[in-house]
Structure 1
């Protein structure tokens, strides 16, 4: 199978820190989101960016990937796990299960080979055969499935299973599937949230970074904002500055006390593409020359 350079996909150096990787992911995910981008290969690029971030955001996965990359593999080169007696990620002591809501949203064969099968060997942790015949695994769940309480299809050891995700389930909580584990035992899926290009999670709240133009921030505007439950209209107060946080109550994760959505403003200036737009920027520069 073909080796993938996840650092190259995100446009960062292998020495990049967590914050730089997250920033690159958010920028590229917004750029190639199928609902926004008009580029012909946007969906494929979007999937590639998601896969790269999923591999690099977790320290254990990143360490396993770096171990393989250090062997000199480069993009397009054939990767043969058996050359090294197995996957470089064999230090994992859990089975990783990745779900999708359909539409071919899975990861590549390279990713699944590196991270997606049961690790061999012992050691403590969440994995392998647990007492009383329970098989344990981690399930990466999309935020929208958590918000809606929907069914997702997952692949476990080559079998496809439909898993009902309880509305508002939290990371670390588990879903038990009777009789779906090894030897007919139960399968216990520990939930973690999948990376989302539009939202970050802070407890029961979700955070969305909203790009607004300088004039929208200065003069005020009503703009469309994505939420887990669909787009809503948000009023941006006049005189807003970059970093200002606006709250959409009850638009976070559901629960006994539903969370809110925090909208953080990011001011971006569109690139001038016509003479009229460039002249408009020149007039703006002159008008605010005294404040420069």
Structure 2
């Protein structure tokens, strides 16, 4: 949405206005409140459909125990969890796709076609092999 900034959208819990310790009931309640205000059939905002798709992804992730645990570990909400994409101390010798941030723009695949491939089911980039494209090509993605 126009009034949501990118940093907030990186944190699924902030998007829903709940804590990372929220219960399933809290997640459902927060999701319903936001949908009432921002659903494309109700909102006059031109970006409402895109935001609703994003909201649905947030809801699906947080309601599925396995996906939520994975999200929490990657996003640093789990005790001892770190996000390797944000940790400046992590070695940068391999290429990865942050599945929570990938928007399916095809840039990775276009710049490094031997390293990346577009996944059919969700339209996100996936790494299929390491070290085939040059370091200069990979650097264009950073």
TM-score normalised over the length of structure 1: 0.26
1:68 counterpart = 2:74: yes
> Cα RMSD (Å) of the superposition?
4.0
| Residue aligning to 2:17 | 11
Q: Which runs of 5+ in 1 are unaligned?
A: 90-106, 112-153, 159-292
More strand by percentage: 1
How has the CA–CA distance of structure 1 residues 110 and 50 changed in structure 2, closer, same or farther, with 3 Å as cutoff?
same
How has the CA–CA distance of structure 1 residues 27 and 63 changed in structure 2, closer, same or farther, with 3 Å as cutoff?
same
Give the distance between the partners of 2:93 and 2:21, measured in 1 at CA.
25
Q: CA deviation at 1:11?
A: 1.2
1:52 counterpart = 2:61: no
Report SS of the residue matched to 2:43. Answer: coil
Q: Which runs of 5+ in 2 are unaligned?
A: 1-6, 105-118, 124-142
How has the CA–CA distance of structure 1 residues 88 and 48 changed in structure 2, closer, same or farther, with 3 Å as cutoff?
closer
| Residue aligning to 2:102 | 109
How has the CA–CA distance of structure 1 residues 88 and 78 changed in structure 2, closer, same or farther, with 3 Å as cutoff?
closer
Give the distance between the partners of 2:12 and 2:73, measured in 1 at CA.
13
Number of residue equivalences: 94
Q: CA deviation at 1:110?
A: 6.3
Q: CA deviation at 1:9?
A: 1.2
Q: Which has the higher contact order (CA 8 A, sep 6+)?
A: 2
Give the distance between the partners of 1:4 and 1:22, measured in 2 at CA.
19
| Residue aligning to 2:43 | 37
More helix by percentage: 2
CA contact (8 A) 2:10 2:101 kept: no
Give the distance between the partners of 2:71 and 2:30, measured in 1 at CA.
18
Give the distance between the partners of 1:78 and 1:62, measured in 2 at CA.
19
Give the distance between the partners of 2:91 and 2:69, measured in 1 at CA.
19
Higher-Rg member (1/2): 1
Report SS of the residue matched to 2:18. Answer: coil
